Amino acid sequence: MIHTLANGFYRFCEWVMRLAYLNLLWIGFTLAGAVIFGLAPATAAMFAVTRQWALGKTDIPVFQTFY
């Protein structure tokens, strides 16, 4: 029972970490693109990474896929 609970907690924390990293990438690339010209490409890249995760490809290199 405790193993199942710990495994679920680990998976939850892993997803929170992935989303936090993706959010930092989005903020960084939006600011690097001078906010207005960086907003659309950073958002499209964020959705591209999220789509890969939704398709089950969770072991992709996040920064390379985002860039």
pLDDT digits (tens, 9 = 90+) for 13-60: 999 999 999 999 999 999 988 877 888 999 999 999 999 999 999 889
How many structural domains compose the chain? 1
By residue range, what is the domain housing residue 55?
A: 18-66
Sequence-ordered list of residues with C-beta below 8 angstroms from that of 42, at least 6 positions apart, any chain? 25, 26, 29, 30, 33
Quick check: is 12 in a domain?
Answer: no
Query: Is 5 inside any structural domain?
Result: no
Q: Among residues 7, 26, 29, which one has the least CA distance to residue 18?
A: 26
Asked if residue 49 is part of any domain, the answer here is: yes
CA angle, 17 then 18 then 20, to 5°: 65
Instruction: Specify if 58 maps to a domain.
Output: yes
Question: Is the Cβ–Cβ distance between 53 and 18 less than 8 Å?
Answer: yes
40 domain residue, yes or no: yes
pTM for the whole thing? 0.81
